[in-house]
Amino acid sequence: MNATMSDTSDVSLEEARELLVDLVSIPSPSGEEEEAAARLAEFFEAHGREVWIDEVGNVRAPADDSVLLTSHVDTVPGEIPVEVREADDDEDGSVAEVGEDVLWGRGSVDATGPLAAMAAAAVRTGVSFVGVVGEETNSRGARHLVEDRDDVPEAVVNGEPSGATGITLGYRGFLAGTYVATSESGHTSRPEPNAIQHATTWWTAVEEAFANDEYHPVFERVTAKPVDVDAGISEDGLSVEATLDVQLRIPPSLDADTVRETAEAELEVGTVSWAEPIPPVMMSPRTEVARAFRAAIRKEGGEPRLLRKTGTSDMNLYAREWDCPMVTYGPGNSELDHAPDERLSLSEFDRSVEILARVALDLRGDD
């Protein structure tokens, strides 16, 4: 879908900040995004843009598909009092200079800051926008989006914190599994291992299979983490049961099948069921969208930084389904993702709005 410049609308930085503060003030943990989605849709309606909330809760504002700006509406749980206050000597200097305004609140960094900046830039420039739901849990919004869209956008900018001068090109993939084992109950003096020991033996072997020395970059490793365990005597007292939930992060040098096969090769007792994997992604720094960001960041007085993230994002899903250039970008210090002191420099937010608008106009051919 193409738009004309008549589909654009002026959005001041003050209005963009107002949207940001409103969205951060609305609790929107995964599964509870409705109110925040309504506020976001209201912003587009107020500027004469076509917008609707689809069946899974995504905020869809289609326009010029030279670039699709998309970020997630949901946050992780946790209440942080929402306030704007000046940074002082106790603040982390990487977030804001002393005296600058800083917005505190859950989601200010991950990823309501990028979401609001993209909404403002999309309205200014007439490009497509989607606010997706469920990124922090099962990415249901992004999964629905790639299934529901008929056309592939010409480029994608995914919204996650990278800092105003950071351009994220790569993410590791993700594989989640559940190990289950059962053994007969018996006196603890018996030498035979029980289900709990089988679970710990398997997981220790998996960790050793993926072990690297400390000089190996984290982005290029498989990170293996247990995330939940439920184990003990069964209700009828006749067996010992163990359930272990695990997660493995996959570097671009490997694929999910290889990682799964390595983990299963260490399996002697019990079974493992695997969820649908999310593949790793690594984009070239020489695509048109990466070039547009480097140029825009320099025009705004910054020095571009190319980043690789050790986590996983919706960009992984977009890259698997859409053959187009993409990057991830957004204001905020990613070290504050999910943190109890999550906060965002408002001057950095302003700068990111200007950079995103420059990128969108560049990719539309209007810059």
In order, the DSSP letters of 338-350 are T-TT-EEEHHHHH
- Nearest-10 crossing angle of helices 112-125, 13-25: 140
- Show me where the domains of the chain are located: 5-171+281-364, 173-274
| 8 Å CB contact between 197 and 231 | no
How many CA atoms are closer than 13 Å to the CA of 270, on its beta-carbon side? 30
Q: DSSP letter for 190, please.
A: S
**Burial track 300-338 (b if 16+ CB lie within 10 A, e otherwise):** eebebebbbbeebbbbbbbbeebebbbbbbbbbbbebbe
CATH number of 173-274: 3.30.70.360
CA angle 53, 143, 120 (to 5 degrees): 45
Catalytic-role residue among 65, 74, 154, 314: 74
The kind and range of the H/E element at 72 are strand 64-72
Which pLDDT score is estimated for 8?
77
pLDDT in tens, the chain (367 residues): 444 444 677 999 999 999 999 999 999 999 999 999 999 999 999 999 999 999 999 999 999 999 999 999 999 999 999 999 988 765 554 588 787 899 999 999 999 999 999 999 999 999 999 999 999 999 999 999 999 999 999 999 999 999 999 999 999 999 999 999 999 887 676 788 999 999 999 999 999 999 987 788 999 999 999 999 999 999 899 999 999 999 999 999 999 999 999 999 999 999 999 999 999 999 999 999 999 999 999 999 999 999 999 999 999 999 999 999 999 999 999 999 999 999 999 999 999 999 999 999 999 998 6
**Taking the CA atoms of the chain, what radius of gyration do you get in angstroms?**
23
Preceding peptide of 111 cis, ω within 30° = yes
Q: What are the start-end ranges of the H helices in the chain? A: 13-25, 34-46, 112-125, 140-148, 195-209, 256-265, 288-299, 314-321, 346-364
110 is a catalytic site residue = no
Task: Tell me the two tokens of residue 42.
Answer: 């209201």
> Which CATH number is 5-171+281-364's, of 3.40.630.10, 3.10.180.10, 3.40.640.10, 3.40.140.10?
3.40.630.10
Measured over the CA atoms of residue 115, residue 124, residue 304 and residue 67, the dihedral's sign is: positive
135 is a catalytic site residue = yes
Catalytic-role residue among 64, 135, 348, 354: 135
Which is nearest to 108 in space by CA: 310, 314, 346? 346
Task: Tell me the two tokens of residue 305.
Answer: 């930084």
Q: Residue 159: which region, alpha, beta or left (left: phi > 0; alpha: psi -120 to 50)?
A: beta
**Measured distance CA(245)–CA(2) in Å, rounded:** 45
